[in-house]
């Protein structure tokens, strides 16, 4: 027993300081992000009483920062990636404080939402590249899976706090945003304390490479698939099934618990079975998830069974979002030069958001004109195209 304890403590002491700092930052981001996700749809519904058409249009200012990240990263090229991550945390915190205290009208709220979202999307473009910098060669998937698992663990705490806070402690939306802003400042200090890597040249952030065209296409499909989940899946639970904030938080908690075990397994699967297997499995599962979201209420009109199916689809979809790490490891394996990885991941975020903005507006109109079922028919079609696209993935053999 003593030998086992000594072995564990030795392994912990050998973990690089940057990994510990990144773990703390990722944990904070998971905690705050889940609090925001658990409350945001109810915040919109209860504060501004918007309809589904406005909900779809609202994604334009929320997702426009994602489209702009390649251009913003190019403007801030003089900042190393980890300092840029710190700047992203501060920007998101400022946006949250303004949302809490200065969002007296829907139009003003959209401005602060843009600020918060820009910080969030800047980090989305950086998280996988920083994570892979901290991994040994050939173990990138495992390392990203570990980081995602930590993020899920703290996300459980975030959604649980929302559940308890709104159910028993009279927590408000403003107080939720202030808590998130405060912890994000701590994450900024963690990124500032990490060893800083060399800066990337500005033009690399804006350059498209023929060699990565399949990665760009998968980014398009991922952006449309992701947006349908982020925008319309919780909106189904909130408006079609009439569920309050604490119930949405409960499902985020369940998804987070499942992710603690699933994401390290996902990382192992990427390293051992490959990116094509993982992404193809995601595509198949998405077909069934879209069917469950869209048609459970039609097949089971009694309500309770339909609601259970939709809730299960929500949790499964939340877990599957993590499969996007396989696109990052795929890019690293096919990269012509290591300096291409971070800028191309950033460009991938810009590309996926260009299409996610369009799909959110289009699906808002489709829901308004024809019904929510047709939104998920679109999602199912995207999932089928996604499956056949990932089957084209080829990883070059190392010589």
**Domains of the chain (ranges, CATH numbers):** 2-390 (1.20.1250.20)
Query: What's the token pair of residue 40?
Result: 């945001």
Alpha carbon distance 155, 276 (integer Å): 28
Task: Give phi and psi for 126, each to the nearest 5.
Answer: -105, -25
pLDDT at 200: 59
Q: Which parts of the chain sit beneath pLDDT 50? A: 4-8, 10
Alpha carbon distance 88, 86 (integer Å): 5
The answer to whether the CB of 145 falls within 8 A of the CB of 26 is: no
Query: What's the token pair of residue 241?
Result: 């099934």
The backbone region for 49, taken as left when phi is positive above 0, alpha when psi lies in -120 to 50, beta otherwise, is: left
Alpha carbon distance 358, 194 (integer Å): 37
Query: What's the token pair of residue 60?
Result: 């334009």
pTM for the predicted model, two decimal places: 0.70
pLDDT at 5: 46
Alpha carbon distance 226, 147 (integer Å): 20
pLDDT digits (tens, 9 = 90+) for 55-94: 666 767 777 777 777 777 777 777 777 888 899 999 999 9
Alpha carbon distance 320, 236 (integer Å): 18
In Å, how far are 270, 331, 333, 342, 394 from 397, measured between CA atoms?
16, 14, 10, 22, 9
pLDDT at 4: 43
pLDDT digits (tens, 9 = 90+) for 152-164: 778 888 888 888 8
| Dihedral of the alpha carbons of 24, 69, 227, 286, in degrees to the nearest 10 | -70
The answer to whether the CB of 75 falls within 8 A of the CB of 250 is: no
């Amino acid at each position: 027993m003593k030998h086992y304890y000594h072995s564990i403590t030795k392994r912990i002491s050998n973990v690089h300081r940057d990994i510990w700092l990144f773990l703390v930052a990722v944990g904070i981001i998971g905690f705050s992000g889940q609090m925001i996700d658990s409350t945001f749809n109810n915040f919109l519904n209860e504060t501004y009483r918007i309809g589904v058409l406005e909900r779809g249009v609202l994604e334009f200012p929320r997702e426009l920062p994602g489209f702009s990240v390649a251009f913003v990263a190019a403007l801030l090229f003089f900042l190393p990636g980890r300092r840029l991550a710190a700047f992203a945390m501060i920007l998101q915190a400022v946006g949250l404080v303004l949302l809490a205290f200065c969002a007296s009208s829907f139009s003003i709220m959209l401005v602060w939402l843009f600020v918060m979202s820009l910080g969030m999307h800047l980090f989305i473009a950086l998280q996988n590249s920083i994570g892979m910098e901290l991994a040994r060669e050939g173990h990138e998937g495992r390392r990203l899976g570990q980081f995602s698992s930590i993020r899920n663990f703290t996300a459980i705490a975030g959604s649980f706090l929302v559940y308890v806070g709104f159910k028993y402690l009279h927590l408000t939306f403003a107080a939720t945003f202030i808590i998130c802003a405060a912890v994000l400042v701590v994450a900024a200090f963690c990124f500032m304390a990490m060893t800083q890597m060399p800066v990337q040249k500005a033009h690399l952030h804006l350059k498209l490479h023929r060699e990565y065209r399949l990665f760009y296409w998968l980014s398009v499909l991922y952006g449309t698939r992701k947006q349908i989940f982020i925008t319309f899946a919780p909106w189904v639970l909130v408006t079609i099934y009439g569920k309050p904030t604490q119930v949405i938080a409960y499902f985020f908690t369940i998804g987070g618990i499942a992710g603690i075990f699933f994401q390290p397994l996902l990382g192992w699967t990427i390293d051992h079975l490959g990116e094509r297997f993982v992404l193809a499995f995601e595509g198949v599962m998405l077909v069934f998830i879209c069917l469950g979201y869209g048609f459970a209420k039609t097949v089971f009109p009694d309500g309770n069974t339909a609601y259970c199916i939709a809730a299960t689809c929500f949790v499964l979809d939340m877990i599957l979002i993590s499969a996007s790490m396989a696109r990052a490891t795929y890019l690293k394996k096919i990269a012509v030069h290591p300096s291409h990885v971070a800028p191309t991941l950033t460009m991938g975020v810009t590309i996926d958001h260009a299409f996610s903005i369009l799909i959110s507006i289009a699906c808002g109109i489709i829901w308004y004109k024809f019904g929510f079922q047709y939104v998920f028919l679109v999602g199912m079609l995207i999932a089928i195209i996604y499956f056949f696209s990932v089957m084209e993935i080829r990883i070059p053999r190392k010589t």
